[in-house]
Amino acid sequence: MVDNGVEISVVIPICDDGSHLINIIDTLQNQTFLPKEIVIIDSSTNDGAKTIIEQYADTVPINYHYEKRAYPGKARNIGAELAQSEWIAFLDSKTLPKRDWLERYKHLVQAYQADVVFGITQFEATTPFQQALRAATYGKIGHHTVPGTLIKKKAFSDFNGFLEHVRMGEDIEWRERLISKDLNIYVPEEPVVTYYGLPNTFIKTFSKYVKSAYHTARLNILKNIKDGYLSLLLILSAIIIPKWNHLIGGWETNPLFIPHVTKIYLLALVSILLIYLLVNYLFFRNLSKTLFSHTLKVIVLVFITIAVYRWNAVIAGWVEDAVLYIPHITKIYIAGIIITSVLYRGLFQPLYREVDVGFLFPLRWIKVGLLGLSLDIFKAPGYIVGSILEFIRLESLIKSKQNGTFYRKKKKNS
């Protein structure tokens, strides 16, 4: 139960983003409901943030703590430990809350007896490149985020806080873990936080998405070791099953011979994928995609691509007059994938995420679609590398999980 005397500590991790800190502190100092304190965890390589903080008077006390080489998850955990209030609110260094954010969320926890109220963030875009990038990714709708979230300190402590060893993705894992627990969670619809850090060049975007895919792959394996094993089993099956009849020897005379084994396997994969997509769409749209789902999609795409590439040779025997011979089938297939992807990323997805029709037409949707397709391609190598490296570390990760060392250990008297 929350009363009118509720106190809130706002926790902000900072890493070389001092230029945004001035606006954040000014906004917090002018909230319609003032926080008890602002807790800043600084992992910067310079004194920019500290210098800014020293300029402020004590309208709202600022608790500054320097922590060398801390990822956002670790920084937030430290900030939560240092917080003196019953409630903890989170912001990031490039997010700016609305002036009535804390007052609005205070009323929500009172009205709904909530343990957690998730933040909703919208993304600001000013340059033409940022506007195209936003259209290809987030759109103009709000997204559930850690920035803007208000949570009871006890609830945060009970569920071990954030993962500390990953650079990105710990926020999604944390929200999903809270949703799976017995907590009263309220999810509003209206954005209360605006993010101002979208990359403004193609190179910066490339770097960000490759890093994001790399850390997401590591986190997906870490979240569910069984998911990693299933993915590995799926990869092995894709290597072994199509060559099954060759491996067993004897072909039709061998009792283990399976006619049309590759076709059966591909049909099974496609069926599993369609069922998985349907179930995910109906019941789990708000959850992050698993490593298994990514692996399944890639393997199905690989098999379909091989089938298309060999279609005229195997099915039509390179006889151009054959009914099933398809001229330029590979070119048609590749062009079809590109056109479909551009249409989806350039039109369907942006319109679904409330991007203005006038922004997309007449031709900008092509640029948006190609940018979205490029981002998908960029993420692939990062995801593969992250998966491989995390598999190499699998044994140590299992031991760490068994020992409970993924999360920051609680203080004895907390």
Mean pLDDT of 48-70: 84
- Evaluate if residue 51 carries a pLDDT over 70: yes
The amino acid sitting at 319 is V
- Evaluate if residue 118 carries a pLDDT over 70: yes
For residue 246, the number of C-alpha atoms closer than 13 Å in the C-beta half-sphere is 6
Output phi, psi for 18, to 5 deg.
-60, -30
pLDDT of 29 reads: 92
pLDDT band at 313 (very low <50, low <70, confident <90, very high): confident
- Evaluate if residue 414 carries a pLDDT over 70: no
Q: How far apart are CA 185 and CA 171, in angstroms?
A: 16
Question: Which tops the pLDDT comparison, 176 or 154?
Answer: 154
Percent of the residues in the chain that have a pLDDT greater than 70, as a whole number: 84
The structural domains of the chain, with segments of one domain joined by +, span 8-200, 221-403
Is the entire prediction scored with pTM above 0.95?
Answer: no
Most confident stretch, 237-251, 291-305, 385-399: 237-251
- Evaluate if residue 132 carries a pLDDT over 60: yes
- The domain covering 8-200 belongs, at the CATH homologous superfamily level, to Spore Coat Polysaccharide Biosynthesis Protein SpsA; Chain A (3.90.550.10)
Q: Per-residue pLDDT tens for 165-223? A: 878 888 888 998 898 888 999 999 899 999 999 999 999 998 888 888 777 766 665 55
Percent of the residues in the chain that have a pLDDT greater than 90, as a whole number: 44
Question: Which tops the pLDDT comparison, 261 or 196?
Answer: 196
pLDDT band at 224 (very low <50, low <70, confident <90, very high): low
Q: How far apart are CA 407 and CA 40, in angstroms?
A: 20
Mean pLDDT (the chain, rounded)? 84
Q: Per-residue pLDDT tens for 373-386? A: 998 887 777 766 76
pLDDT band at 388 (very low <50, low <70, confident <90, very high): low
Q: Per-residue pLDDT tens for 332-358? A: 988 998 999 999 999 999 999 999 999
Do residues 42 and 20 touch, judged by C-beta distance below 8 A? no
